[in-house]
């Protein structure tokens, strides 16, 4: 699954993030990127940032994030071609 949304909450100790009122988790295999698809560290992500995620939904559990991209703003459909990772 993929999703673009705003970070509403972040718990670095529990590896959880709330994006547009939905809770997600990450682990040691999760990769963090900026809008140019260059690697970053999780501490660059802050509440109120826009992000794009790729993850795996699991029934009864929060979605596990595989990749998360820090975005400069909300990316409308007509601008998604500027960001190759947005399918």
> For residue 83, is it within any domain?
no
- Report the predicted TM-score, pTM, of the whole model to 2 decimal places: 0.93
**Which pLDDT tens digits describe the chain residue by residue (87 residues)?**
999 999 999 999 999 999 999 999 999 999 999 999 999 999 999 999 999 999 998 888 899 999 999 999 999 999 999 999 997
> For residue 59, is it within any domain?
yes
- In which domain, by residue range, is 51 found? 2-77
The domain spanning residue 70 has which CATH number?
2.40.50.320
> For residue 10, is it within any domain?
yes
Domains in the chain, number: 1
Q: DSSP characters for the chain?
A: -EEEEEEEEEETTTTEEEETTEEEE--TT-EEE-TTS-B--GGG--TT-EEEEEEEEETTEEEEEEEEEEESS---GGGGGGSTT--
């Amino acid at each position: 699954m993929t999703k673009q949304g705003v970070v509403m909450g972040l718990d670095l100790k529990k590896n959880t993030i709330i994006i547009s009122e939905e809770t997600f988790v990450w682990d040691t295999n999760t990769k963090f990127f900026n809008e140019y698809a260059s690697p970053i560290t999780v501490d660059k992500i802050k509440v109120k940032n826009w992000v794009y995620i790729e993850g795996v939904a699991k029934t009864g559990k929060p979605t596990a994030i595989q990749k998360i991209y820090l975005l400069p703003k909300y990316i409308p459909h007509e601008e998604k071609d500027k960001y190759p990772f947005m399918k």
